[in-house]
Structure 1
Amino acid sequence: MLELRNVSYQPATAVAPVLCGVSLSLAVGRASLVAGRSGSGKTTLLEVISGLAEPSSGQVLWEGERLNGRQLRWLCGLVFQFPERHFLGLSVGQELKLGHRRLTAEEAQAALQLVGMEGLSLQQAPEQLSGGQQRRLALAVQLLRNPRVLLLDEPTAGLDWAVRGEILELLAVLSQERAVLVVTHEPELFGGVIDGGWRLARGQLEPLSALPTMAPTIATPQGNQP
């Protein structure tokens, strides 16, 4: 279990803290959610959890042990909003091999299979993929690191309804073996997939008792339609 205990964060250039005494716990085998408006500090929260930003005060723990930034970076996998903007490889294969120089083609295809893209050509350019495929590729890159905590910043942003449904189904699968935290300004999209979480406002977390169910239904395969 990952825990934040009374974590605050104030950048050196800010006049007020972005996070104020934030506490939460994330359990393996469950997906949780933090909702909040744009600019509320959701991305900053992920950066603190993942070790990219050092809290001004408080503790981040894994299984009861306090971790430093380097340890958190090993523990967590972070997928940024619009991850396609951060791709560095000229091909899918190169993108998967970043940080994994000895990655074989078989291992790369196994990672793609985990995110539902088995058989995708490793020579294809990432920018030629659809928006949903680019999100899946970003997830595959992080899953190769075998993170115990997977952090997703607005994973459905900019996607149409059908592709959003595919990403939601994938999140349900990925959360079975790791702790997953999604941050979003549209919590209603995750109703029925994620059953609880928090709302971030004025630097503090408030529990969400339940998430509303997404109004548009996830598209069903044609073979299952009446």
Structure 2
Amino acid sequence: MYQLKNVTKTYTGKRTVHALRSVDLEIGDGELVAIQGPTGGGKSTLLQMLGGLDRPTSGSVLLAGDDLAKLSDGALTSARAERIGFVFQHYNLIPTLTAAENVATAMVPLHVKAEKRTRRALEALASVGLAERADHLPGELSGGQQQRVAIARALVKEPRVLLADEPTGNLDEATRDEIVELLEGLWKEEGLTIVMVTHDTAVARRAQRRLRIAKGTVTER
């Protein structure tokens, strides 16, 4: 699925930051991978590389053979829209849209017709146990429910990869376990490749494979 070759990311400003240092990494199709490490160690930067949200300073990021580092801006936008689902710690839901409308927004770049967007959004919400909450605004939902909406939004476009950045970071322990079980179920049932950044060792232990990144260097755990 992914093959990273000698990936380096350097940020320059008042001081130079080496966020990633010559990273070589392979992630197989259908793997569930957890990434841990200290703050500032490069976790989020690595996830941004995998998601095509940023480009490496040097090296290649191959997704199913396509080098995300070399795609045009338009092709990279299409790759993100069609192949990659994103889940973030802070949900990033639009507060004035209902749960179903939030989920449907993921299909706009794919030019899915409105009627089909609505149907698929409702199906996605049902798949995460929120069929009865489709007409609720984010402010009317609990944190765990909002994260389920965010997961449904990521999955509704039927991506090959799900990238999750601290998906349980704002949740209590019981809700955390519910979300992790949901992700595990989707991984097993849908055959998704899931890469998850987490500070929570209890969450990381549930993964099929664990990586650690510190000072821009990736190691297996």
TM-score range, shorter chain: 0.7 to 0.9
Provide the rounded CA distance (Å) in 1 between the counterparts of 2:138 and 2:185: 24
Q: Which residue in the other structure is 1:8 paired with?
A: 8
Q: CA deviation at 1:39?
A: 2.1
**Equivalent of residue 80 in structure 1, options 69, 79, 88:** 88
Q: CA deviation at 1:88?
A: 5.3
| Structure richer in helix, relative to its length | 2
Q: Which residue in the other structure is 2:123 paired with?
A: 110
Taking only aligned residues, the RMSD between alpha carbons, in angstroms, comes to 1.9
Pair 1:133 & 2:141 matched: no
Provide the rounded CA distance (Å) in 1 between the counterparts of 2:33 and 2:204: 10
Q: CA deviation at 1:66?
A: 2.2
Q: Percent of aligned positions with the same letter in both sequences?
A: 35
Pair 1:159 & 2:160 matched: no
Residue 18 of structure 2: SS of its match in structure 1? Answer: coil
Provide the rounded CA distance (Å) in 2 between the counterparts of 1:100 and 1:189: 29
Q: Deviations over 1:173-205 (max 9, x none)?
A: 2223211000112223332x2132210101000
Q: Which amino acid aligns with 2:87?
A: V
Q: Which residue in the other structure is 2:111 paired with?
A: none
Segments of 5+ residues of structure 2 without an aligned counterpart are 109-113
- Superposed, 1:121-200 pairs within 5 Å as 122-176=134-188, 177-191=191-205, 193-200=206-213
Residue 123 of structure 1: SS of its match in structure 2? Answer: coil
Provide the rounded CA distance (Å) in 2 between the counterparts of 1:175 and 1:99: 20
Pair 1:203 & 2:204 matched: no
Pair 1:91 & 2:103 matched: no
Q: Which amino acid aligns with 1:157?
A: G
Does the 8 A contact of 1:6 with 1:59 survive in 2?
yes
Q: Which amino acid aligns with 1:7?
A: V
Count of equivalent residues: 205
Q: Which amino acid aligns with 2:162?
A: L
How has the CA–CA distance of structure 1 residues 195 and 96 changed in structure 2, closer, same or farther, with 3 Å as cutoff? closer
Provide the rounded CA distance (Å) in 2 between the counterparts of 1:89 and 1:49: 30
